[in-house]
């Protein structure tokens, strides 16, 4: 797998890539989340959910305050007050009360800056520095890892999806390194569902191992997404089994971390998949 990759440190946590698959639990604060789990501004509910996920085995908690569902009008970089109102109080609580890192799901440098000050230890950028390259400077200055996702919503490609994803990720990696982000602090994500057709999403999962050429740990996020819904003809809250199948295939093809809504069953699938794929890395 990816044992040759250097470890990534996040505070006192060390991600030792290749030894096992890490699980990122999703805490959506935007009320109109596509997956139907939007919490809104109830900080206590968010904290309870995050703590439950950690108890179930989550290695990271990802906090987002803006919906990224298809068709949603994105907030402009200058109109971030609502996003900050949602995410900052939750990140402050979680970073103080959890034993695992908290990541902030944002593509805006100012949100990331305030989130890091509030205790976030990872920046998760769904636009891979396309929208706000200054995000890389925030990550570099704070010394925190950054996740770069390949997002094709600005220009959906009709052909050559893997080449386009790799090209976009290469651009993001270059911008991050130029801004001073250490190479070991960059994680990549192929961006399942973001400007891609069903066939392209399925192809990306099947060819995920080709991302190893970029020599970065790979995050795979397919939980409850339309790819599963279209194949199985099921709504978001009934897509668990489909995502568990994709998770196992993704691990076999090189995924190092998976971003999910349903932590406990995913942890079990990761343990079993790791026992097969990463021989001897998981103890009973």
pLDDT per position as a tens digit, 80-114 = 898 999 999 999 999 999 999 999 999 999 999 99
CA 236/CA 171 separation, integer angstroms: 32
Q: Is 259 a catalytic residue?
A: yes
pLDDT confidence band for 1 (50 / 70 / 90): very low
* Of the listed ranges 40-49, 97-106, 122-131, 190-199, the one predicted with least confidence: 40-49
Query: Is pLDDT above 50 for 177?
Result: yes
Cβ neighbors of 24 (< 8 A, separation 6 or more) are 58, 59, 60, 61, 62, 103, 219, 221, 257, 258, 259, 260
pLDDT at 284: 46
pLDDT at 41: 82
pLDDT greater at residue 82 or residue 39: 82
pLDDT at 69: 61
Mean of pLDDT values over 111-133 = 98
pTM of the predicted structure, to 2 decimals: 0.93
Cα 181–Cα 141–Cα 64 angle in degrees, nearest 5? 85
Query: Is pLDDT above 90 for 185?
Result: yes
Mean of pLDDT values over 187-200 = 97
Catalytic, out of 93, 196, 225, 239 = 225
| 20 bridge partner residues | 17
Catalytic, out of 51, 259, 264, 278 = 259
pLDDT confidence band for 181 (50 / 70 / 90): very high
Query: Which CATH number among 3.20.20.20, 3.40.50.720, 3.10.20.30, 1.10.510.10 corresponds to the domain 20-274?
Result: 3.20.20.20
> What ranges do the domains of the chain cover?
20-274
The answer to whether the CB of 146 falls within 8 A of the CB of 125 is: yes
**Which pLDDT tens digit goes with each residue over 215-234?**
999 999 999 999 999 999 99
pLDDT at 45: 94
pLDDT at 198: 98
- 226: nearest Cα among 238, 208, 214: 238
Write out the H or E segment, with its range, that includes residue 25: strand 22-28
pLDDT at 2: 45
What does the mean pLDDT of the chain come to? 93
pLDDT confidence band for 4 (50 / 70 / 90): confident
* Of the listed ranges 53-67, 72-86, 152-166, 264-278, the one predicted with least confidence: 72-86
Query: Is pLDDT above 50 for 212?
Result: yes
Q: Is 3 a catalytic residue?
A: no
pLDDT at 71: 60
pLDDT greater at residue 85 or residue 77: 85
């Amino acid at each position: 797998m990816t044992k040759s990759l250097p470890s990534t440190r996040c505070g006192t946590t060390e991600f030792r890539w290749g030894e096992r698959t890490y699980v990122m639990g999703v805490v959506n604060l935007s009320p109109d989340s596509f997956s139907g789990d939007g919490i809104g501004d109830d900080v206590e509910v968010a904290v309870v959910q995050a703590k439950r996920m950690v108890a179930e085995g989550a290695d990271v908690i990802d906090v987002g305050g803006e919906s990224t569902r298809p068709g949603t009008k994105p907030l402009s970089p200058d109109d971030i007050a609502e996003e900050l109102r949602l995410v900052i109080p939750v990140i402050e609580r979680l970073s103080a009360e959890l034993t695992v890192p908290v990541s902030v799901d944002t593509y805006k440098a100012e949100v990331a800056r305030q989130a890091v000050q509030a205790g976030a230890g990872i920046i998760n950028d769904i636009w891979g520095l396309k929208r706000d390259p200054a995000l890389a400077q925030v990550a570099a200055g704070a010394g925190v890892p950054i996740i770069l996702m390949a997002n094709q919503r600005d220009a959906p490609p009709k052909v050559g999806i893997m080449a386009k994803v790799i090209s976009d990720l290469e651009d993001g990696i270059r911008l991050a390194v130029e801004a001073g982000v250490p190479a070991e602090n960059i994680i990549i994500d192929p961006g399942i569902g973001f400007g891609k057709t069903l066939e392209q999403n399925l192809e990306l999962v099947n060819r995920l191992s080709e991302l190893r050429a970029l020599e970065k740990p790979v995050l795979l996020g397919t939980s409850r997404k339309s790819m599963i819904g279209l194949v199985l003809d099921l709504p978001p809250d009934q897509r668990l089994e489909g995502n568990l199948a994709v998770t196992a295939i993704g691990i076999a093809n090189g995924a190092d971390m998976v971003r999910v809504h349903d932590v406990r069953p995913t942890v079990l699938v990761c343990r079993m998949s790791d026992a097969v794929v990463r021989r001897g890395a998981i103890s009973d």
